Amino acid sequence: MRVSVLASGSGGNSCVVESGATRVLVDAGLSGREIERRLRARSIDPESIAGIFVTHEHNDHSSGALAFSTRWGCPVFTSAGTAAALGLEGDLFSPFVRIDPGRDGRIGALGFRAFATPHDAKDSVVYAFEADDARLIVASDLGRAEPEFVDFLRGATTLLLEFNHDEDMLRDGPYTWFLKKRISGGWGHLSNRQSGDAVRAAAGPRLRRVVATHLSRTNNVPALVLAVLAQALDRAECPAVFDVADQIRGFDPFDA
């Protein structure tokens, strides 16, 4: 299984997951044209995308989904709530495939499963993909990492996991009180500490790589994330490599 990140952060999220001849997008939070441009820059034909797995309706995950889906004729896989929020449900000709959290599905060579997340969206989920003895988790935009979520991460060979903010930087930073409360609350985003704890608890012998995603440009810096990850993996005695995905550059393709 191969994965590459096209963009990561509140300015837009999208990544490509593929195995054999099956290739999908997870989220499409850039314009349809921009996704197309970034795919071509990686020598990927947009027409080869078999589906778009949307995590939730927030713009930074969904803004290009309908345009890309229409232009390239690929369906949108998402939860019923997200589909309703995006105006997909009820349209007879809608290219919508419903995902039920906790139930295994398959598209070509990729097995998948969604996990329902606590986030201030309609029916948000994150995804696991399985192929070729690899298990990839793409998880961002959740306010807390409960034991069920840590279980969902277990057995992964690759984690793309949100490290949204440093708690001190958020507290002392320029955001309004309301926004600080939203981000740090149980329906907001995972902090470096929360995600570090989750990695430490979930890291097992199969884990090969962790890529931190969805970093806040205002309330986080890569150096802090890397330090948290180094400590979490060290404490778990896990030799996985780790890195940070960039809003603009994303993350180059690698084997999950």
State how far the Cα of 94 lies from the Cα of 100, in Å rounded to an integer: 18
Nearer to Zn ion, 58 or 180 (CB): 58
State how far the Cα of 244 lies from the Cα of 246, in Å rounded to an integer: 6
- Smallest gap from Cβ 256 to Zn ion, in A, equals 21
- Smallest gap from Cβ 70 to Zn ion, in A, equals 23
Among 146, 85, 91, smallest CA distance to 117 is for: 146
Tokens in use for 116?
């329902």
The residues binding Zn ion (CB under 5 A) are 58, 60, 141
Nearer to Zn ion, 7 or 207 (CB): 7
For residue 154, give every residue at least 6 positions away whose Cβ sits within 8 Å of its Cβ, in sequence order, or none: 202, 204
Among 90, 86, 24, smallest CA distance to 57 is for: 86
> Do the Cβ atoms of 13 and 7 come closer than 8 Å?
yes
- Smallest gap from Cβ 57 to Zn ion, in A, equals 8
- Smallest gap from Cβ 10 to Zn ion, in A, equals 6
- Smallest gap from Cβ 43 to Zn ion, in A, equals 27
Nearer to Zn ion, 163 or 233 (CB): 163
CA distances, 72 to each of 35, 37, 114, 169, 232 (Å): 12, 13, 24, 41, 41
CA distances, 161 to each of 73, 118, 137, 205, 213 (Å): 29, 15, 8, 18, 6
Task: Annotate 70-104 with b (16+ C-beta within 10 A) or e (fewer).
Answer: eebebbbbbbebbbbbbebeeeeebbbbebebeee
- Smallest gap from Cβ 49 to Zn ion, in A, equals 21
